[in-house]
Amino acid sequence: MNERVFRVEEKSEEQILALAASGDEEAFAWLYQKYVTRIYNYVYFRTGNAAEAEDLTAKVFLRAMKHIRNYRDLGLPFSAWLYRIAHNLVANWHRDNGRKKEIPLDDALPLPVLSKHPESEVVRREETEKLLRIIRKLPPERQQLLILKFVEQLSNAEIGAIMGKSEGAIKSLYHRTLLSLREEYERYFDEVEKDALE
């Protein structure tokens, strides 16, 4: 009996990808373990539904397993290919469900206790909630950009590959998104200040 031992620590991700593309289930299982949490988080933040996120995440990996032979390294990490599959499935899910779900970004932003002073902690949490309300008003594309940039910490090139845009287009969208966030944030606090003076 010729038993092959798969030792991940001895192989690069490119080698593991090649093994997975040749049908090696253990290699694909390693890729699944490495990326499943990131893909699930992305899908969850885009759908706002844990059960749907689990289902769609499973579909992402089923589709990846079926088409891994077609994957080509074009200078972007394998994760960008997975995110692109996830992006397409989420877009189909939104289209099929005909509803715009609110992305629960507050789940994506853990709020650790930074102070021993409860008053400052309350103020910080309130400010975070205000920012999240402003973010939720953004178009889905801009919310997606913020998730990929700040939650998943992907590069502009990776985000571009996922969203089907050039790196330059992502930089521009990111700049416009930050400007609109700043304007909305300032508008919000101007209104709060005005209400406080009345």
Query: Hey, what domains does the chain have and what are their CATH numbers?
Result: 8-101 (1.10.1740.10), 108-198 (1.10.10.10)
Residue 68 neighbours by CB distance under 10 Å = 19
**What's the pLDDT score for residue 4?**
52
Query: CB–CB of 102/136 below 8 Å?
Result: yes
Q: So what's the pLDDT on residue 9?
A: 60
Categorize the per-residue pLDDT at 109 as very low, low, confident or very high, splitting at 50, 70 and 90: very low
Tell me, yes or no, if the pTM score tops 0.75: no
pLDDT of amino acid 99: 53
How many residues are there in the chain? 198
The pLDDT value recorded for residue 89 is 94
What is the C-alpha radius of gyration for the chain, rounded to an integer number of angstroms? 20
Q: Are 147 and 45 in contact (CB under 8 A)?
A: yes
pLDDT value of position 153: 85
Most confident of 3-7, 87-91, 108-112: 87-91
CB-CB neighbours of 162 under 10 Å? 26
The pLDDT assigned to 111 comes to: 46
Identify the weakest region by mean pLDDT among 58-62, 149-153, 163-167, 194-198.
194-198
Q: Identify the band that residue 2 occupies on the pLDDT scale cut at 50, 70 and 90.
A: very low
